[in-house]
A and B are shown apart, each in its own frame.
Chain A
Amino acid sequence: MWKYISRRLIQLLPVLFGVSVLVFFGMHLIPGDVVLVLLGEKASAAELERLRHQLGLDQPVYIQYLRFVADALRGDFGVSIRTRQPVIWEIQQALPVTIELSLAALVFAVILGITIGVISARRPHSALDTGAMVFVLIGVSMPVFWTGILLLLVFGGILGWLPLGGILDTSLTIRRITGMPILDAVLQGNWPAVRSSTAHLILPAVTLGSVLMATIARMARSTMLDVLNLDYVRTARAKGVAEGGVVGRHALWNALLPVVTLIGLHLGLLLSGAVLTETIFALPGLGRLTITSVLARDYPVVQGVVVIGAVIFVVANLAVDVLYAWLDPRIRYS
């Protein structure tokens, strides 16, 4: 197992190298003089020259690249043009919000997706199954941003059950420990804040998780159907194992394997969806930070967010692969 993990880690190195090259030279492809973009048209020649020197832009390109990599490895992505804060500080503020949101979305997607898939597979082609599959087809095709708007309209606006956005009621405050609102509130034993931050997370999590939920349901249904027809399941039935035991204990675990792969394949979808979800629900996460910095042409932040985003994505994919290899030992040897 360790051998497998270390082999996969070594395979990551060229990918991360490529990411750094792409991000570094990508920002160099931006038309126009970066210094001019940063300072605006009115800056004097001396000011331009000073900033160019400060940013190391008067050095040869390969030196600039090496400096970029060396700084990035120390977590130094420079200073935001918009807020004058270090980029890494901005990311540290935003990242935990996105992690909590993504985990909540993942939990929602896995639990509801598998439940729907298993229920459908129990009675294939029944009315319940057909209804579930229509629901799933709509779920896969729904644009995340419309799902969010509809949920807000119904549960936030018309019914008024859930808040319309943000992470906490304005009357409450939580001291920052991890940066994840619910976790921080729990750690401080601040129960009103736990209630409020959970209420604020429900709609975003459902919005973000909806596509993955539908995809999981579809996959769980088809693998469950395959597994339920296998010999060992028939043997279990013949032995007199109760139907719940057959489905829950014998079939479900084997049907879960493709679901794990699917989660790995769709992590990118989750992170992409976070940009849209955080925009709709005004959550101060990484996605929101990305879009505001792209729109404001705040290139140091864009660079930092992209590198961190790619690293997280690659590492998360690795984690899924390791989980998969642990569930199915055959993979480690291929």
Chain B
Amino acid sequence: MARSADSIQLSARATSAARESRAVALSWRRLRRSSNLVVGAVIVVVVVASAALAPWLAPYDPIDQEFTNQLRPPAAAHLFGTDEFGRDIFSRVLFGARIALQVGVLADLIATVLGVLLGVVAGYVGGRLDALVTRVLDVMLAFPYLLLAMIVVAILGPGLTNAMIAIAVVYTPQFARVVRGVVLSVKEQDHVEAARAIGAGPIRILARCILPNIVSPIIVMSTLTIGFMIVETAGLSFLGLGASPPTPEWGSMLATGRSFMLTAAWITTFPGLAILVTVVAFNLVGDGLRDLLDPRLRGRL
């Protein structure tokens, strides 16, 4: 009995390995055609590199004020100009990339982990627990994104960490919903039934049969949402609920630069551009990955 189960598994592994290598070959062919993904990935690498190397790349300290150099337009000494406190905007934008990426990646991780947990438990266990989780998710989805984030910040108090937690909370139901849907449909498939028939326990079924199926929607969804998370954290900071001055955060740079919009447009232009470029890059990568890994998700994500 045990031996035959093993041999079924072995041959299943062999065919799935063959299928995988074929899929990889196909993916490479498609990858070469999807220039968007490549362009997006290159920009993401540049953003990540400038965030990582900010302390070495930045010509000035992002917080040091230099009152003799206030509101200077972009020039050789200050590539992106200076703000109302004489701080170098180029340096601040570079350090801002660190904050944006840290917050985006962490919020994304939290939302992904929580969403997968909730979705898998609700979808796999089913019954009353599923009904309860789904109801709670429905309630959370009944709030407009930013409003829910603002409630969380109102409860926790303003600050960058709390803004990040708020954004993670807001996105968790969406992850959970997608994961639950995939789990529900996979659960009914024959290979799960077969695994159960040869005596696999629930943990084994979850780990070997169900989780592999949610990997690609999760990768796609995480990349697609990271851009929006960066925008929304910047939005909370813009409203005064996230990072507070003098932190070089893109959203709060835009908020303070707004008063000098007409006289010193560069204060808002460069952080704005930084957000736009970063988000465009993540969206290109997310769209590209979706088409590459799981074209069925088109329209759903």
Tell me the A residues contacting B by CB distance below 8 Å.
Answer: 14-16, 18-19, 22-23, 26-27, 29-31, 137-138, 140-146, 149-150, 152-153, 157, 219, 222, 258, 267-273, 275-276, 279-280, 290-291, 294-295, 297, 299, 302, 306, 309-310, 313-314
Contact = CB atoms under 8 A, between A and B. Distances in A.
Nearest to B158: A295
B261 interface: yes
A257 B255 CA distance: 38
Interface stretch (B74-82, B102-110, B234-242): B234-242
Interface stretch (B14-22, B134-142, B181-189): B134-142
B139 A157 contact: no
A166 to B, nearest CB: 15
A143 B272 contact: yes
Contact of B144 (A19, A222, A291, A313): A313
Nearest to B234: A143
The binding surface of chain A is classed by DSSP as helix
A30 B155 contact: yes
Given A29-B155, A291-B239, A275 B150 contact: yes
Contacts of B268: 146, 149, 153
Interface stretch (B53-61, B90-98, B120-128, B279-287): B279-287
A266 to B, nearest CB: 10
14 contacts: A15-B138, A27-B155, A141-B280, A143-B254, A149-B272, A150-B272, A219-B299, A270-B144, A272-B144, A275-B146, A276-B146, A290-B150, A297-B154, A310-B144
B275 interface: yes
B195 interface: no
A276 B275 CA distance: 16
Contact of A306 (B147, B255, B299): B147
Contacts, number: 136
Contacts of B240: 291, 295
Interface string B229-251: 00100110011110000000001
Nearest to B40: A137
Interface residues of B, number: 42
Contact of A272 (B147, B262, B298): B147
Nearest to A12: B142
Interface in B132-164: 135-136, 138-139, 142-147, 150-151, 153-155, 157-158
Nearest to A29: B155
Interface of B: 135-136, 138-139, 142-147, 150-151, 153-155, 157-158, 227, 231, 234-235, 238-241, 251, 254-255, 258, 261-262, 265, 268, 272, 275-276, 279-280, 283-284, 298-299
A23 B142 CA distance: 12
A23 B238 CA distance: 24
A245 B231 CA distance: 41
A146 B142 contact: no
Given A153-B261, A157-B262, A137 B144 contact: no
B261 A314 contact: no
A276 B155 contact: no
A238 B174 CA distance: 45
Q: Across the A-B interface, give the 3 residue pairs with the lowest CB-CB distance, nearest first.
A: A18-B139, A272-B146, A146-B272
Given A141-B276, A150-B272, A153-B261, A294 B153 contact: yes
Given A143-B251, A146-B272, A275-B239, 11 more contacts: A15-B138, A16-B142, A18-B136, A137-B280, A141-B279, A145-B238, A145-B254, A271-B146, A276-B146, A290-B147, A299-B154
Contacts of B227: 141
Contacts of B135: 14-15, 18
Nearest to B239: A291
Contacts of A290: 147, 150
A309 B144 contact: yes
